[in-house]
Amino acid sequence: MSRWDDVYIGLCKKILEEGHEVENRTGVNTIKIPSFHFSLDVGKEFPILTTKQLFIRQAVLEMLWIYQAQSNDVRWLQERNVHIWDKWMINENGDWLDENTGRVLKHFDPKYVHTIGTAYGYIVRKYHLIDKLIDSLRNDPEDRRRVVSLWQDCELDNAVLPSCVWSSEWDVTDGKLNVLVHQRSCDVPLGLPFNVTQYAVLLCMLAQVCGYEPGTLDWSIKDAHIYVNQVDGIKEQIRRYDENGSLPAPKLWLNPEIKDFYDFDSGTKLSDVRLEGYEHMGKISFALTQ
């Protein structure tokens, strides 16, 4: 059975049972708890939810957009039929608009048109974050300074949405690559399932190209929340779990011929990545709040 489903459903129950309803910048209230922490052994079990369907192609392509393409251009995703950032794209006038009212939420320098501004992949490219990480993993296994930070104060004013998953710390222990991920704000129904699977894939990719085995994925959340318009969907997912448990975790297959992180296919077919034996209980639709 899937340990990730066990952890995830436990978090959802905790939020619904112990959380506080609060207002936030979006205008849609959330039910939140202040923090949550968990650990998964990716070397033993690949984490992807089975109590609902998760579309791994979209999840992995978003991760590669950030760390391989190192792009902030939303069109890169749209060309691959991935639309999770459409609501945050700066338009031709340099404006980020409220999707419901058309009101200008923020105006940007026109050079940032079609992008999300100075966030995520922009920061990875500007500060050479993935290249420094790979160089350290290959040449200095005992390095204790492998902090990859997507939170750069000087870039925040020109970002549409400052990075939610904002930092990761990497170490090698006993031949295994491990990562600790920090998330400042967590949309549990929509964001967290994508994020955990994404970083598990990134962990496995980096382990493969740097000569290690996949190890642990530790996760630290500040402000774990469920939007009030997502509660019914989460209750359905909890019902599935309570009645049926979880299904067996699938296996992640990466093309073993790939020895360079930049060689993993990031095209529409994502041919170097696939899941084997992925069983799930079907799709659940959740509102995406801008």
Q: What are the tens digits of pLDDT across the range 187-245?
A: 999 999 999 999 999 999 999 999 999 999 999 999 999 999 999 999 999 999 999 99
If you average pLDDT over residues 96-105, what whole number do you get? 94
Model pLDDT, residue 282? 98
Question: Is a pLDDT exceeding 90 seen at residue 115?
Answer: yes
Q: Are 218 and 182 in contact (CB under 8 A)?
A: no
Q: What are the pLDDT digits (tens) for 137-189?
A: 999 999 999 999 999 999 999 999 999 999 999 999 999 999 999 999 999 99
Active site residues: 164
Distance CA 140, CA 161 (A): 34
Q: Is residue 61 part of a domain?
A: yes
Q: Is residue 201 part of a domain?
A: yes
3-class secondary structure, 169: strand
1: pLDDT strictly greater than 90:
no
State the total domains in the chain: 1
DSSP state of 185: S
Give 159's DSSP letter: B
Decide if 238 is inside a domain.
Answer: yes
Please report, rounded to a whole number, the percentage of residues in the chain having pLDDT higher than 90. Answer: 99
pLDDT over 90 at 36, yes or no: yes
The answer to whether residue 38 sits within a structural domain is yes
Asked if residue 66 has pLDDT above 90, the reply is yes
- Confirm whether 143 is domain-assigned: yes
Judge whether 87 lies within some domain: no
96 lies in some domain: no
pLDDT at 58 over 90: yes
CA distance 24 to 22: 7
**Residue count (the chain):** 290
Look at residue 277 and tell me if it is in a domain: no
The CATH number that applies at residue 21 is: 3.30.572.10
- Per-residue pLDDT band for 102 (boundaries 50, 70, 90) equals very high
48 is in which domain, residue-wise? 3-68+116-267
H or E element that contains 101 = none
